[in-house]
A = this chain, B = another copy of it.
């Protein structure tokens, strides 16, 4: 129960959000997503395969993603794309995240509630 130094986990629901966001920009496969998240956040966020694959399967089961198998260099990859359902889900999550981040930012900045700026 001691030090869990590596990554203080604020990360709940974040993987799903990031994966949807990446896939909305461009079709990708699981292994690629793992690396993309790491590299595009300069390793601030690093999710393992044990996180990515289950999320991918869950999103596909919910109809938020579709997949197609494709072989490249003799390697079989499963590419995922977002469906309209997934796009909607991304919009929701994105909005929720923005609200949350703003609320926390306000509190960290020392803000009393309805005060200042309008």
Chain A residues with CB under 8 Å of chain B are 8-14, 17-18, 21-22, 25, 37, 39-42, 44-45, 92-94, 96-108, 110-114
Contact = CB atoms under 8 A, between A and B. Distances in A.
A10 B110 contact: no
Interface of A, helix, strand, loop or mixed by DSSP: helix
Contacts of A17: 10, 104, 108
Contacts of A12: 9-12
Contacts of A92: 8
B10 A103 contact: no
A60 to B, nearest CB: 15
Residue of A41, A45, A98 most packed against chain B (CB within 10 A): A41
